[in-house]
Amino acid sequence: MGKLFEDTARRFHDYVMPTYKPQVMFVRGRNARLWDDDGNEYLDFAAGIAVCSLGHCNERVAAAVSEQSRKLVHVSNLFMNELMPRLAEKLVTESGMGGKVFFCNSGAEANEGMIKLARKYGNATGRNEIISMVNSFHGRTLATLAATGRKKYRQGFEPETPGFKQVPFNDFAALKAAVTPQTCGIMLEMVQGEGGIYPADPGYLKAVRALCDEKDILMLCDEVQCGMGRLGTRFAFQKFGVVPDAVSMAKAIANGFPMGALMAGAKFGDVLTAGMHASTFGGTPLACAAALAVQEAFDRDGVLENCEREGEFLRRELTKFAGKYDFVQCVRGMGLMIGLVLDRPAAPLAGLLMRDRMVALTAGETVLRLVPPLTITHEDSELAVRKIGAALEKFAAEV
Ligand SMILES: *Cc1c(COP(=O)(O)O)cnc(C)c1O
């Protein structure tokens, strides 16, 4: 590691709160490739944690951001901005949900808005409890932490925000038993990301939908990670044929430009009204320009088709490793949201890959999480399979 890294690491240590422990510094990126400060090239199967879904420095997004940044960046939501309703219209039309959108800046903020939407609606009839799932992840703000089904993230930040409880995912009997006359929302990820790449059962989602209809409960889908094309459809729910009442989005929505969004279905589009909810930076012309460019890429560049094709290839090839090594249990996931499930911690395997200059994430304890750009070339998919194969061989020799 060079002097630039050392200087930067010292400055980081002295001045940045120690919530992260970065070991490598990237200085440049292009689609699924990254370069560090020493000029080493990496294959990137993390995509900034499922954010840069159109690859690093996507030309369409770069042009849109650059152009808009010279025209108008931010005027606040006290004024009309041409791009925000345009983006909202695009999302509503593509989703088929027929509702309305609120823009913000992150996944946690989108989920906060979704929780507020459900409470506002529910409180009108005396209900304000939300049921979420064990192993879920919804963000790091206080309410989204309360919704997150992993206690360790909440420890030390007591008192806990009331009004939340968790039930096991994909267990309809447990969910039904947990519903009370206070329940106003059921919140879930269609494919759990941080928890370990667990897809919902389609039958389970249909049953949840029917339960929500019967009890006038909002079905709240956190699509922050599994949405925006990651599963091969623009919205994750489109893969399952179940339409939720509200969807939260962020991560890939503007390919790395910070943005979050909350979309409510037709029945709930006017629940939050003037003065009830707001965000200074929500939906700036600049952020909307980036997000519109992402939508245009979906329309014109065959992104979703590529995601389906490469996802299928990767899942098929990776499944072969489950037959070859005892410690590889299976491959889970859909589209390009893929988990290689081990019977032991996956972090050392991610470490081996990093040494071979491939960036991959873990999820849960035992899952190697692969979320490459949806624009990945077939050559890069093949290279990834070779690198993972080599890493598994080393891993097998070590264990
Ligand atoms: C990343 C993530 C969040 C939180 O998003 P932030 O932008 O970090 O606040 C929420 N839900 C899911 C499913 C996520 O993957």
Atom number of ligand 1 nearest to Cα 222: 13
Task: Measure 106 CA to ligand 1 centroid, in angstroms.
Answer: 7
What percent of the chain has pLDDT above 70? Answer: 100
- Pocket flag, ligand 1, residue 185 (CB < 6 Å): no
Residue 324 confidence (pLDDT): 97
Contacts of 256 (CB under 8 A, 6+ apart): 48, 51, 52, 56, 61, 290
- Pocket flag, ligand 1, residue 31 (CB < 6 Å): no
The mean per-residue pLDDT over the stretch 129-133 comes to 98
12-70: per-residue pLDDT in tens?
999 999 999 999 999 999 999 999 999 999 999 999 999 999 999 999 999 999 999 99
Task: Measure 277 CA to ligand 1 centroid, in angstroms.
Answer: 20
The mean per-residue pLDDT over the stretch 279-292 comes to 98
Residue 180 confidence (pLDDT): 98
90-107: per-residue pLDDT in tens?
999 999 999 999 999 999
Cis check: omega of the bond before 159, within 30 degrees of 0: yes
Amino acid in position 15: Y
Spatial distance between the Cα atoms of 262 and 120, rounded to a whole number of angstroms? 15
- Pocket flag, ligand 1, residue 138 (CB < 6 Å): yes
Strands 183-188 and 129-133: parallel
Spatial distance between the Cα atoms of 204 and 198, rounded to a whole number of angstroms? 13
Q: For residues 94 and 295, is the Cβ–Cβ distance under 8 A?
A: yes
Alpha-carbon Rg for the chain in angstroms:
21
Task: Measure 337 CA to ligand 1 centroid, in angstroms.
Answer: 15
Which residue owns the Cα nearest ligand 1 atom 15?
225
The mean per-residue pLDDT over the stretch 66-75 comes to 98
310-341: per-residue pLDDT in tens?
999 999 999 999 999 999 999 999 999 999 99
CB 181: neighbour CB atoms within 10 A?
A: 9
Spatial distance between the Cα atoms of 374 and 54, rounded to a whole number of angstroms? 6
Q: Answer whether residue 1 shows pLDDT above 90.
A: no
* DSSP-assigned beta bridge partners for residue 248: 222, 262
Q: For residues 15 and 8, is the Cβ–Cβ distance under 8 A?
A: no
Confidence of residue 399 (pLDDT cuts 50, 70, 90): confident
Residue 16 confidence (pLDDT): 98
- Pocket flag, ligand 1, residue 198 (CB < 6 Å): no
Contacts of 237 (CB under 8 A, 6+ apart): 190, 221, 223, 243, 244, 247
- Pocket flag, ligand 1, residue 137 (CB < 6 Å): yes
- Pocket flag, ligand 1, residue 282 (CB < 6 Å): no
The mean per-residue pLDDT over the stretch 179-187 comes to 98
Per residue in 276-313, is it b (16+ CB within 10 Å) or e — as a string?
ebebebbbbbbbbbbbbbbbebbeebebbebbbbbbeb
Spatial distance between the Cα atoms of 288 and 53, rounded to a whole number of angstroms? 16
Task: Measure 136 CA to ligand 1 centroid, in angstroms.
Answer: 10
Spatial distance between the Cα atoms of 203 and 241, rounded to a whole number of angstroms? 10
Mean of the per-residue pLDDT values of the chain: 97
Axis crossing angle, helix 303-324 with helix 285-300, rounded to the nearest 10: 70
Residue 149 confidence (pLDDT): 87
Q: For residues 50 and 227, is the Cβ–Cβ distance under 8 A?
A: no
Q: Answer whether residue 2 shows pLDDT above 90.
A: no
Strands 337-342 and 41-44: unpaired
Task: Measure 39 CA to ligand 1 centroid, in angstroms.
Answer: 31
Q: For residues 332 and 199, is the Cβ–Cβ distance under 8 A?
A: yes
Strands 198-199 and 337-342: unpaired
What percent of the chain has pLDDT above 90? Answer: 98
147-172: per-residue pLDDT in tens?
998 889 999 999 999 999 999 999 99
Residue 261 confidence (pLDDT): 98
Identify the helix (H) or strand (E) that includes residue 87: helix 83-95
Q: Answer whether residue 207 shows pLDDT above 90.
A: yes
- Pocket flag, ligand 1, residue 190 (CB < 6 Å): no
Q: For residues 52 and 31, is the Cβ–Cβ distance under 8 A?
A: no
Task: Measure 36 CA to ligand 1 centroid, in angstroms.
Answer: 26
Terminal C-alpha separation, the chain: 29
Q: Answer whether residue 210 shows pLDDT above 80.
A: yes
Q: What is the pTM of this model?
A: 0.97
Task: Measure 233 CA to ligand 1 centroid, in angstroms.
Answer: 19
DSSP characters for 38-74? T--EEEESSHHHHT-TT-BT-HHHHHHHHHHHTT---
Q: Pocket of ligand 1, candidates 223, 228, 251: which has the most ligand atoms within 8 Å of its Cβ, to mutate?
A: 251
Q: Pocket of ligand 1, candidates 192, 224, 281: which has the most ligand atoms within 8 Å of its Cβ, to mutate?
A: 224
Q: Answer whether residue 194 shows pLDDT above 90.
A: yes
Give the Å distances, CA to CA, from 160 to 116, 142, 204, 296: 17, 8, 29, 41
DSSP characters for 201-244? PHHHHHHHHHHHHHHT-EEEEE-TTTTTTTTSSSSTHHHHT---
- Pocket flag, ligand 1, residue 230 (CB < 6 Å): no
Longest CA span, the chain: 63
Q: What is the DSSP letter of 267?
A: G
- Pocket flag, ligand 1, residue 114 (CB < 6 Å): no
Atom number of ligand 1 nearest to Cα 144: 10
The distance from CA 35 to its chain's CA centroid, rounded to whole angstroms, is: 24
Task: Measure 369 CA to ligand 1 centroid, in angstroms.
Answer: 15
Amino acid in position 113: G
Q: For residues 133 and 124, is the Cβ–Cβ distance under 8 A?
A: no
